[in-house]
Amino acid sequence: MKCPFCGHLETQVVETRVSEDADVVRRRRQCGACEKRFTTYERPDVNFPSIVKKDGRRIEYKRSKIVESMSLALRKRPVSTEQVDAAIERIEEKLLNLGVREVPSTRLGEWVMRELKKLDKVAYVRFASVYRSFEDLDDFKNLVDEVRR
């Protein structure tokens, strides 16, 4: 494993943990050159379905896009990285369990909104306001009223 700090190719595994669901292995590593520590995650390499965008384009599923979207919505909110990772794992599990080759981006977006709603109401409103492309303040007000209920 290449050190992300100095690029040295020799690192040593200092600690290994398996997630509660036993589907991810977390390893703490230490660089042999600069001695800095970093974390890696191992998960099975599976084929996710393609994502069909609203304009009909098909793109490859990328976990990083969901991480970025959720992180932006959760910016400065009291939600741990572990909670976000667990939410993304649930989304990916749904994707895999569908057993289809393609999934509409709207369905994926709804799953992300559902997970954000469980994690943090403010993040949910942030994400939904962008995702649903509100036309006016009434749409936004209706969403906030829905969350308050």
Q: What is the pLDDT of residues 48-94, one digit of tens each?
A: 999 999 999 999 999 999 999 999 999 999 999 899 999 999 999 99
In terms of domains, do 25 and 77 share one?
no
In terms of domains, do 79 and 119 share one?
yes
Q: What is the pTM of this model?
A: 0.65
The dihedrals phi and psi of 73, each to the nearest 5 degrees, come to: -65, -35
**Which whole-number Å values give the CA distances from 124 to 54, 60, 82, 113, 145, in the listed order?**
21, 25, 18, 6, 13
Is the distance from CB of 6 to CB of 34 less than 8 angstroms?
yes
In terms of domains, do 55 and 85 share one?
yes
In terms of domains, do 59 and 11 share one?
no
In terms of domains, do 54 and 84 share one?
yes
Q: Kindly indicate the confidence band of residue 3, based on its pLDDT and cuts at 50, 70 and 90.
A: very high
In terms of domains, do 17 and 62 share one?
no
In terms of domains, do 52 and 35 share one?
no
pLDDT for the residue numbered 145? 79
Expressed as residue numbers, the domain containing 25 is 1-43
Is the distance from CB of 32 to CB of 12 less than 8 angstroms?
yes
In terms of domains, do 39 and 50 share one?
no
Q: Select from 5, 59, 60 the least CA-distant residue to 33.
A: 5
- Is residue 30 pLDDT above 90, yes or no? yes
Residues in the chain: 149
In terms of domains, do 10 and 57 share one?
no
pLDDT for the residue numbered 24? 86
Total number of domains constituting the chain = 2
In terms of domains, do 60 and 116 share one?
yes
